[in-house]
Structure 1
Amino acid sequence: MISERAKESLGRIFSGAARSRLPARDGDPCEVVELRGEPPPHAQVVVLTISSMQFRLLLLLHFDDDAPMRDYYVGEAERTLTEAFMEVANLCCGAMNQQLVQHFADLGMSTPYALSSACVPYLVTLKPNYVARYDVTINGAVRVGATLCVCASAPIDFDAGESVEADSGGELELF
């Protein structure tokens, strides 16, 4: 069971992490909107996991390999959009992990991996206790979908507070 207060806290933690880590450049506007239904379809998904003794949180970031995404995240670099976006996704999940570790000891975070969006409907087989979906728009043109999927093995109740913003420091965490 996940309390309403914990669900609201997870939403604030994700929104703060998305606003601080998904924009490629400081000052780029980032709008995060919680969706009530299914997110718009995207072709690819980057998945990361934060795990504790009480829960497993999957962060799925959905995107399309289109011109606005490539221009924004890759530019002239010699790497794929998936490689570039996995780095950004890792920063976003790391910011969430930093906030969650204040409430849960011994968290572990996976490295990002890419999947086809055809895998997303199979989340139900995990029997999640909580699923939230978001639409993220950066610079008015770059669209990223997000899904938080939480599977709890114990009751989860915490309050992250009203003002949850990820630390903008560039520290390196080793796992």
Structure 2
Amino acid sequence: MISAHARDSFERILHKAARTRLARSADAPCEIAPLRGRQADATSPANGIDLTVRHANVAVLTISGIDFRMLLLLHFDEDDVTRTYFVGDDQDKSFREAFLEISNLCCGAINQALLNYFPDLGMSTPYVLSAHCVPHLTQLKPNHLASWDITLDGSVSLAATLCVCAHAPLDFNAEVSETQDSGGELELF
């Protein structure tokens, strides 16, 4: 139900959003590597994707439209390195508040890119679940499921899982540039 072009487009859009919203700046290191698990076969609902638990928690973000529902899971641990990266010296902000804010910006960038192809989209409010729920994504019977390790500044370890459930045939080829745009950011005049 999802063409190869559409799968590739969802992934390229996600990768750009991770590089431009999760990383501190446009030139900050952001490495993205696919997670591969067991060999894909006809009985494997995860289609060869490794859904084992690597981090304690996941931030769950959803983009829904008439033709599909997309879940983005950002896997994370609340360790010192990750906390320092996302919160810094701001003592007034909790780690989860900061991480969910950044996660929402990442999802917003994906939403902005998808609006070029799907005019009626809505985003959910992000929430946190235990990472033990990740293997249950297969119960949604997704048409596309993929995961990546993400390393920020060479030391902050995250992962991302993209789960797309289509309600109609999806075929689009997204134009994704590597330059950072300011779409979705608040501008003051």
Q: Do both proteins adopt the same fold according to a TM-score greater than 0.5, normalized to the shorter chain?
A: yes
Q: How many residues align?
A: 173
SS at match of 1:73: helix
AA of the residue aligned to 1:113:
Y
SS at match of 2:17: helix
Cα shift readout 1:124-166 (whole Å, capped 9, x = no counterpart):
1111111010111110000110000000000000000353655
AA of the residue aligned to 1:80:
S
Which of 148, 162, 166 is matched with 1:152 structurally? Answer: 166
Per the alignment, residue 111 of structure 1 pairs with 125
Cα shift readout 1:64-99 (whole Å, capped 9, x = no counterpart):
111110111112223322111100100000000010
Which of 92, 99, 112 is matched with 2:106 structurally? Answer: 92
CA distance in 1, matches of 2:144, 2:80: 33
Per the alignment, residue 28 of structure 1 pairs with 28
Q: Which runs of 5+ in 2 are unaligned?
A: 38-49
Residue 170 (structure 1) shift? 5.4
Cα shift readout 1:93-140 (whole Å, capped 9, x = no counterpart):
000001000001110011111111111111111111110101111100
SS at match of 1:168: coil
Residue 20 (structure 1) shift? 0.1
Which of 59, 67, 71 is matched with 1:46 structurally? Answer: 59
AA of the residue aligned to 2:35:
L
Give the percent of matched residue pairs that are identical in Structure 1 and Structure 2: 56
CA distance in 1, matches of 2:35, 2:59: 19
Per the alignment, residue 175 of structure 2 pairs with 161
CA distance in 2, matches of 1:27, 1:112: 27
CA distance in 2, matches of 1:105, 1:22: 25
| Aligned residues of 2:62 and 2:123 also touching (Cα < 8 A) | yes
Root-mean-square deviation over aligned CA pairs: 1.8
Higher mean displacement: 92-101 or 21-30: 21-30
Per the alignment, residue 8 of structure 1 pairs with 8
CA distance in 2, matches of 1:164, 1:50: 22
Larger radius of gyration: 2
Residue 171 (structure 1) shift? 2.8
| Aligned residues of 2:61 and 2:71 also touching (Cα < 8 A) | yes
Instruction: Give the structure-1-normalised TM-score.
Output: 0.92
